[in-house]
Structure 1
Amino acid sequence: MAEQQIVSPLPGIFYRSPSPDEPPFVEDGGSIEAGATVGLVEVMKQFTEIKAEAAGSDIRFEVDDEGMVNPGDVIAVVQG
């Protein structure tokens, strides 16, 4: 199985859930479908959805919830 990296397209703060009182879009170790939202990046009060480009399993997040990211930073790794 090949690893697939999900990277941040822009700088900002990464959030794993749609709001503080909701569960994460995807749990560590979970599976995802192509096009599924894995998190949000906030830049100046605007939120951009981060989506998986391909389906995979055993997702492993490389960035903590509310962690800073820069363009090209790996947010998560998925087994494809």
Structure 2
Amino acid sequence: VPAVPAAAPAPAAEPANSRPTTWKPVIAPMVGTYYEAPAPGEPPFVKVGDEVAANETLCIVEAMKLMNEITAEEMGTVREVCLSDATPVEYGTVLFYVEPHEPVPTLPEN
């Protein structure tokens, strides 16, 4: 019987702490279904690289037939979209990683 070569080992999962510490997670506040766009066939609210303002809608989580807008807590850049459209989410699921912008120093008025 010919020897069967061993399968290559599966790549190790990316460690949770491999993201820069400046990236902040956006967490699902409820159980529901994640939607990336306001309606089927429409473009997503945000994609990687987009600049977002505080309180800007990032996605929708549908819970008990209610569409709940999930918004950015502060101004920043979307660095990672963690789910695909129509994915079920649990409370605490990471939806996005956003890198907040450094506050712009204000010049004293003369």
TM-score relative to the length of structure 1: 0.91
Bigger RCO of structures 1 and 2 (CA < 8 A, at least 6 apart): 1
Max Rg structure: 2
Give unpaired runs (5+ residues) of structure 1.
none
**Pairing partner for 1:61 from 72, 77, 81:** 81
Count residues with an aligned counterpart.
80
- Percent of aligned pairs sharing the same letter: 34
Q: CA RMSD in A?
A: 1.3
Q: Give the drift of 1:29.
A: 2.1
* More strand as a share of residues: 1
Is 1:79 the counterpart of 2:103 in the alignment? no
Runs of 4+ in 1 over 2 A off after TM superposition: none
TM-score relative to the length of structure 2: 0.68
Q: Distance in 2 between matches of 1:51 and 1:24?
A: 14
Q: Give the drift of 1:21.
A: 2.2
Check conservation: 1:35, 1:51, Cα contact below 8 A.
yes
Q: Which residue number in structure 1 is paired with residue 65 of structure 2?
A: 45
